[in-house]
Chain A
Amino acid sequence: MTGIDRDVLITRVLDGEATPEDWAAFRAMADRDHSVWADLADAQQDRAELATALSEAVALADDIEAPLEVHAGEQFRRRFIAAGGWFGWAAAAVLALGAATGQIRTGVDREPARQAGLLRIDSPEDALQVYMDKGQEAGCVIGEVPERVLISSAPTPDGQGYTVVYLRQIIERQRVEDFYTLGRNEAGQPVPVPYARPEPRRPIY
């Protein structure tokens, strides 16, 4: 039996992967050469020590949480890219909003008030629309992403529907001198770090 065979046999015994044949071979080998027992004992000690040290070394991983804030930003970015440009996306927005809220409001019925210089705000939706219109005129608002990110949902007490809490996503545009994203410092606290423009990516696995 060569040296490596002996090592493999000891490893199988050590790792609980030895078959009855392996055990028989191990005993036969140990009968011929008692130093096999010493090798097994050494290997067992090494394995225990290595496991202890490794466990300590990787325990710091417990402090590293998944940066979910990055995920939200990524979802937003992908939706925008997937829309394939502003015009197609804008058309989809009307449909999605209509399906979600039943409150499609075209520009036609607002136009008379705007032309007359009257901006009547009777509801939060009106206020938002004014913000969108003004923002688009000024170039700092691009539009609203049609999909809304569901945060929570629960049946209403009367059982007639659901209360949903969701995120509306409005795309704005600004010129900035520096570009930062949220990273983490040594204590795991969020800190701004200079942001490199993402490269186009390939599918993974």
Chain B
Amino acid sequence: MAGPDGAQHWADGDERELVRAAMRGEHDAIRLVWARYRRWVAALLLAYKPRQTDVEDLLQDVAMTFVRRVSELREPESLRPWLRSVAINAARLAGRKQTVARRHGERLRLVVQQEGESQPDVAAAQREAARRLLDLAMGLPEGYREPLLLRCMQGMSYREIGAIVGLPESTIETRIARGRRMLREMAAAQEAAARSAAQSAPIVEDAGVVKGAGDDRH
């Protein structure tokens, strides 16, 4: 299947047939399957990668493995579990190598700031809060982080997530619920810590005199 017409055909067609075509080595199908799954793979990488590792580098590794080995799949249904294992392996390998970080978090922050500049402050504040929440989510235990992010990412059902992760639907549901609870508690703790820090922070007065909060001695 070649050319834009071919790509359009697959875009409207059956997912299994599309994956089969990719397994047969049809380039349009390989390209389209990857395009459909790359954000999902990125979410998995986020869930498993070491904090300081660049998602982009890992994505390229996964894309390379996908292209090289998709033809070795035995059936289209294996694609998602296999891609998941490729992504997790790539992330863990990066962790073992202790690859020096590049600034994904900073880049994200930059994007937030740049976009925020052209929008009302309220929107910028919301985006900043969202980014903080994602950072917190990265601190959840692995078993909770992945189902939560997959649910967020593409609105996958508990059953679909369970099939990919290899856990019962009820376990996935519980982990998502518990993950959300933990996230809320972590966010609350962070807010409390920020308030506490603000209250105890030194106050800089106009004359450049620094004094501690609550310190009224003169």
Contact = CB atoms under 8 A, between A and B. Distances in A.
Interface of A: 3-4, 7-8, 10-12, 14-15, 17, 42-43, 46-47, 49-68, 70-71, 74-75, 151-152, 183-184, 186, 201, 203-205
Contact of B180 (A3, A47, A67): A47
Dominant SS among interface residues on chain A: helix
Nearest to B56: A60
Given A17-B157, A66-B30, 19 more contacts: A7-B178, A8-B174, A8-B177, A10-B180, A15-B151, A17-B173, A46-B187, A49-B126, A50-B134, A53-B130, A59-B39, A64-B63, A65-B34, A66-B34, A66-B63, A70-B64, A204-B73, A205-B73, A205-B74
A52 B134 CA distance: 9
Contacts of B69: 201, 204
A57 B43 CA distance: 8
Main secondary structure, interface of B, reads helix
A55 to B, nearest CB: 8
Contacts of B111: 56
A59 B81 CA distance: 22
Interface residues of B, number: 60
A11 B148 CA distance: 11
A186 B184 CA distance: 35
B27 A54 contact: no
A51 B152 contact: yes
A49 B72 CA distance: 39
A134 B140 CA distance: 65
Nearest to B3: A152
B192 interface: no
Interface of B: 2-3, 25, 27, 30-31, 33-35, 38-39, 41-43, 46, 55-56, 59-60, 63-64, 66-69, 72-74, 78, 81-82, 104, 108, 111-112, 126-127, 129-131, 133-134, 137, 148-149, 151-153, 157-158, 173-174, 176-178, 180-181, 183-184, 187
Nearest to A59: B39
A43 B38 contact: no
Contacts of B39: 58-59, 61-62
Nearest to B131: A53
A121 B148 CA distance: 68
Contacts of B30: 66, 68, 71
Nearest to A7: B177
A11 B179 CA distance: 10
